[in-house]
Structure 1
Amino acid sequence: MSRWIELPQLAAIRMTGSDAGAFAQAQFTADSATISDQFWHPLAWCDPKGRVLSFMLANRSHAGIDLIVPAVQLDFMANRLPVYAIGRQVSFEPTANVRGTFAPQSSDASLAFDPARALSVAPADPCPEHAAASNWRYHDLRCALPWLQPDTAGRHLPQSLGLEPLGAISYDKGCYPGQEIIARVHYLGRSRYRTVALRLDQIAEIAANSAVYAGERKAGNWLWGTRWTQVTLGLAVVDDALQPEANLTVETASGRISGQVTPVDQLC
């Protein structure tokens, strides 16, 4: 049996060309010098207002720089990134399906923040569908990875999405889209919102950006989630003044369902 798990919720874009590193340095929140072939490094692409357009994982290889993005953002990213590459020797190409493993070997590129897992966009062995794919989503939640969708892109600052603890922001690398606003929040203030994990009392389909309420007051918005046994686990961006372990409700097509803010390491 293959040790690799097909991850259809993720997709990859490969940047190639002599200016791929310079492009990454000029556009993304992390220092491109930290992107290596040994790890998948977290970073983000922001708009000029500092709002995150996409959260990504990056790895450098002999073929170029691979970017892993949510599958629902693949077309957007593949079409939008080249607009900012005019005059640079860099090209963008969607690559093979993304696959992960819970049994990384020394030659695999592990996650920088979770070395017990590794990712690949071109594994050598066949990779059938695997029931453990849902387990991968759960571990992404435990790492508080703020995967975005079209309805949540361009809405939140990196600090609101918890990108500082993940090591996805460099404050020393120089300019990139939104850099001044992001640095101002870091040095002179704080974000009014933060990302929290929610444990909801039942299984539910929740649309990205659905409203989250504390009582009758809107307290934030849903990012993404997954079913886990008989509950729903997910991430939401909420008011920073919200009390730890607060009781909340989340809007769904059939009405609000209740849940609680839960530390990520206690999601189940």
Structure 2
Amino acid sequence: MHDNPQASSGLVFALPDHRLIALTGRDAATFAQAQFMNDVAQLEPGQWHWSGWLTPKGRVIALFALLKLSDEAIWLLLPDADPAALASGLKRFVFRSKVAIEVRADLHVSGAFTDPTLARGPDLAGSDAESGIELDMGAEAGPRAVRIWNGPVAPEDPAVARWQAFDLEHGLPRLPASQAEHWTPQQLSLERLGAFSVKKGCYPGQEIVARTHFLGQAKRGLALLEGDEMLVAGSDVSSESASLGKVIATAGADGRHLALAVVPLGHDSQRLSVDGNAVRELPVRGGLAR
């Protein structure tokens, strides 16, 4: 067994909604390049970036952090999506590729609102589950670190709600199952995170993503909202009496109720409401792109 001294100090807490899928084998990087919306070929071994898997119509099935340990070892860190369902869906496209796709239930994910020990920006610290792999998830509002390893599970802590709110404040949608396969990368403003490529070769949904980009057809994007009542994904966002958009992700921490909503670009930010309750629009913070 491994010791985790930070856990006992209360600095480190479990992120139970984060799970791992591992792609391993000679064609792991090639398979990831063909299936996912960001450019894996631009990543050096030991780096990570935001990415996702799309439907053929360019709708986001799942968002994740893609970790390139090597050309033969790719990990997907899923903050929300069901790993078993996603792994099963990906296996349908393996065909003759030399790649194994496995849910790594043996690996545990923890977070801390502290500077990473070693990792910075897109670089990974550590190289295997035994010693642990560390990611820098910090941004404009402060430092954060993620650790993935096969040691003891970190304790649960209410700080996980603060972690989710931090994601929303920086434009990372935490998509519940009800919002999967509904939105394009541009509607989720994922260019803020550098999460998709319009220049690399084909991948599912690439034609829709590239056409929207090059023809300037993006008409909707994310807005960060704050309300005095709990907000629910799927709720309508209205401006006065007119329907404006949809809430797609929510979080609550420290007495605050936050949501990300897909709304028209250039909308009137005055007199907004969700389910009849007034909400305020806040600026989305920067710094979470990798």
Please say if 1:222 is aligned against 2:230. no
Secondary structure of 2:273's partner? strand
Q: CA deviation at 1:28?
A: 0.8
| Higher share of residues assigned strand | 1
Q: 2:97 aligns with which of 72, 88, 113?
A: 88
In structure 1, the residue matched to 2:264 is 239
In structure 1, the residue matched to 2:190 is 163
Secondary structure of 1:196's partner? strand
Higher mean displacement: 101-110 or 172-181: 101-110
In structure 2, the residue matched to 1:189 is 216
CA RMSD in angstroms, aligned pairs only:
2.4
Contact 1:39–1:59 at 8 Å: present in 2 too? yes
For these two proteins, the number of residue pairs brought into alignment is 259
Cα distance, 1:102–1:38 mapped onto 2, change above 3 Å = farther
In structure 1, the residue matched to 2:25 is 17
In structure 2, the residue matched to 1:111 is 137
- Unmatched tracts of structure 1, length 5 or more: none
In structure 2, the residue matched to 1:31 is 39
Taking only the aligned residue pairs, the percentage that are identical comes to 32
TM-score between both structures, scaled by the size of structure 2: 0.81
Cα distance, 1:112–1:230 mapped onto 2, change above 3 Å = closer
The amino acid across from 1:246 in the alignment is Q
Q: CA deviation at 1:86?
A: 1.7
Contact 1:151–1:209 at 8 Å: present in 2 too? yes
Please say if 1:260 is aligned against 2:285. no
Contact 2:248–2:260 at 8 Å: present in 1 too? yes
Contact 2:231–2:258 at 8 Å: present in 1 too? no
Cα distance, 1:119–1:156 mapped onto 2, change above 3 Å = same
Contact 2:225–2:259 at 8 Å: present in 1 too? yes
Q: CA deviation at 1:117?
A: 2.3
Q: CA deviation at 1:142?
A: 2.1
Secondary structure of 1:121's partner? strand
Alignment of 1:138-157 (within 5 A): 138-157=165-184
Q: CA deviation at 1:54?
A: 1.1
TM-score between both structures, scaled by the size of structure 1: 0.87
In the alignment, the residues of structure 2 paired with residue 89 and residue 128 of structure 1 have an alpha-carbon distance, to the nearest angstrom, of: 38
Contact 1:37–1:109 at 8 Å: present in 2 too? no
The amino acid across from 1:262 in the alignment is L
Q: 1:47 aligns with which of 45, 55, 63?
A: 55
In the alignment, the residues of structure 2 paired with residue 20 and residue 50 of structure 1 have an alpha-carbon distance, to the nearest angstrom, of: 22
The amino acid across from 1:33 in the alignment is A
Q: 1:250 aligns with which of 250, 253, 274?
A: 274
In the alignment, the residues of structure 2 paired with residue 20 and residue 13 of structure 1 have an alpha-carbon distance, to the nearest angstrom, of: 12
In the alignment, the residues of structure 1 paired with residue 223 and residue 191 of structure 2 have an alpha-carbon distance, to the nearest angstrom, of: 14
